[in-house]
Amino acid sequence: MILTDTHTHIYYHEGEALQQQIQRCLDNEVMRLFLPNVDSESIPKVLGAAAQYPENCFPMLGLHPCDVKENFRQELDIIHRSLQENKVYAIGEIGLDLYWDKSTLDWQKEAFRIQVQWAKERSLPIVIHCREAFDQQFALLEELHDEKLFGIFHCFTGSKEQAQHAIELGFYLGIGGVVTYKNSGLAEVVKELDLRHIVLETDAPYLAPVPKRGKPNESSYIPFIAQKVAELKEISLEEVAEITTENSKTIFKI
* pLDDT per position as a tens digit, 100-136: 899 999 999 999 999 999 999 999 999 999 999 999 9
In the predicted model, what is the mean pLDDT of residues 59-70? Answer: 97
pLDDT of residue 191: 97
* pLDDT per position as a tens digit, 80-101: 999 999 999 999 999 999 998 9
In the predicted model, what is the mean pLDDT of residues 27-44? Answer: 98
Environment class of residue 182 by beta-carbon count within 10 Å: exposed (0-12), middle (13-18) or buried (19+)?
exposed
CA–CA separation, 25 and 19 (whole Å): 10
* pLDDT per position as a tens digit, 150-192: 999 999 999 999 999 999 999 999 999 999 999 999 999 999 9
Q: Share the mean pLDDT of the chain.
A: 97
Give percent of the chain with pLDDT exceeding 90. Answer: 99
pTM (predicted TM-score): 0.98
Q: Which CATH number fits domain 3-252: 3.30.2000.20, 3.90.850.10, 3.20.20.140, 3.30.450.20?
A: 3.20.20.140
pLDDT of residue 108: 98
pLDDT of residue 223: 98
pLDDT of residue 225: 98
pLDDT of residue 88: 98
Question: Taking the domains of the chain in order of start, what are their residue ranges?
Answer: 3-252
